[in-house]
Structure formats: C-alpha cells, structure tokens
Amino acid sequence: MKSVLEVLQSTSAYFAKAGVESPRLNIEHLLAHVLGLPKRMDLYLAFDRPLSELELAPLRALVRRRAQGEPLQHLLGTVEFHGRTFRTDARALIPRPETELLAEKILARFSTPPPRILDVGTGSGILALTLAAQWPEAEVHAVDISEAALSLAKENAASLQLDSRVTFHHGSLMTAVSGVFACIVANLPYVPTGEMASLSREVQRDPALALEGGPDGTDLIRPLLLAARAHLQGLLALEIGHAQSAPLAEALAAAGYRDISQESDYNHRNRFLFATYG
C-alpha cells in the first residue's frame, strides 16, 4: 500500500506532465476530498498513513479526469467564495477570484445596505447570495437566461439557507425584472469570439453561453448599460474584460451615467467599472 506522502509525490509529478497548473495543490485537494478530511492541510498530519485500495480506486478516477482537463472545482463539486461554500458544476461559470474581489468592492462602497439589489447574469448565484448574506436587510433579485444556471443558483440558495432572501428570474438582461434598484451588478460574458479557442482547457469546460461576448466581448454589456437606466437609482457595478474598460467607460458617459470609475484586479488590469445613474 502507498502512503499519503507517496501518493502526493507521484501524482504531483503525473499532473505536471499532464500540464495541470499547481499540480501539488490539485492532488492535495482531491486526496483530502476522497478521505473526507475537512481541510487539505490535515494531510500534513497523515503523511505516513497507508491508503487502502478502497480509497485509491475513487482517487484514481478523479486524477484521470483532472489530467484530462476537467476543472478541479467540478470534481470537488464545491468552491469557496467570500467565506462560504457554493456548489459548482458544468451548469454555470466557475467563480473566479476577480468576481470575489468585485463583491468586496461593492460591499465597501455602501455605508448602509442598498434596499434593493439586482444581479444580472447570476450564474451559480455567487454575487446575489453573497450580497444577500452580507446585507440581511436588502431585497435581492437575480436573473439569468440559462435555466440550468438558475437551477444551480437555487440549490446554492437552499444550501446556504438564503432561498427566502433572493428572488430568481428567468430572462435576458432586464426583460424579466421590474421596479427600481439601488444597486445593479453584472458579470456578463465578455470573452471576444475570436479568443474562445485560446482559452485554457479548464475554462472551456464552462458553458459557452457564460463566456462568449461577441466580436469585441461587449455584445451583452452595451445593451445592459442602456436597459439598466430605467431600473437604476444608484450604483452599477460591472466585471469586464481588461481591454474593454476604456470603450465601456465612454459608453457609460454617453448613456448619461456619472461618477464613472475604472478599477483593477489582482493582476493590475482594469477589470471593473462602477458608475451611478438616477
């Protein structure tokens, strides 16, 4: 029988040859998942533990799938976001660190919770549910064109006991919602069509509907800027492609928005746009 340390070392080398980024981190997460450990760091207290065939068999299956490019988050079935555990699978975009930063930036912009919030293109519900959890007083709505994504978002709402706090709508952009919101947030598809084929094999496992944004990546963002004006008395917060910041800031100004600011992500690329209207 192989020990925990031997499995970590051999699989790390296998992942590296297969082109898996952060190979050691990946096998630590997978092995902790198979062993039912609450934290991957618990493995460091069990390096000498022998692993039985009953434990190795499911691990081998997961390792094979990861080496073939299936995202780690899909294999684990969950992702951590702003201190909470969310379900994630192929029905919606895997949450990225940039979106977690967007949530933090939105929370920092309000001294008191906005009374009514809308998350456009909610996907797995990450932003809507995070804001609902942080602001219990707020009325939160979320909309998506994908029924599959909405089903995942509703599962996340139920698992976090937030299903009574967020109202989900099926539709495109603003067509399925009514009323006025003090904050509208959106992480819409923004990958230009010509760049889709060059995305990593892991990202290509995300739904194309959640990624592809047309020739310049703004086919959905630009219509939202116009449609949101009839429903917004407050802040518009967007996650965008880093090359789209300047032209979309100009579009916001042309549409009558004010207090427009471009803000960067962890890689110092302009990834977020904030503006007010009404």
Tell me the pLDDT of the chain (278 aa) as tens digits. 899 999 999 999 999 999 999 999 999 999 999 999 999 999 999 999 999 999 999 999 999 999 999 999 999 999 999 999 999 999 999 999 999 999 999 999 999 999 999 999 999 999 999 999 999 999 999 999 999 999 999 999 999 999 999 999 999 999 999 999 999 999 999 999 999 999 999 999 999 999 999 999 999 999 999 999 999 999 999 999 989 999 999 999 999 999 999 999 999 999 999 999 99
pLDDT at 201: 93
Rounded Cα–Cα distance for residues 175 and 172 (Å): 6
Q: Which residues contact 57 (CB under 8 A, 6 or more apart)?
A: none
The secondary structure element, H or E, covering residue 276 is: strand 270-277
Q: What is the pLDDT of residue 1?
A: 82
Q: How high is the pLDDT of residue 143?
A: 98
The helix (H) or strand (E) run that includes residue 59 is: helix 53-67
Nearest alpha carbon to residue 253 among 232, 225, 212, 231 = 225
pLDDT in the model for residue 119: 98
pLDDT score, position 11: 98
Task: Name the pTM for this structure.
Answer: 0.93
List CB contacts of 121: < 8 A, sequence separation 6 or more. 143, 144, 145, 186, 187, 188, 189, 210, 220
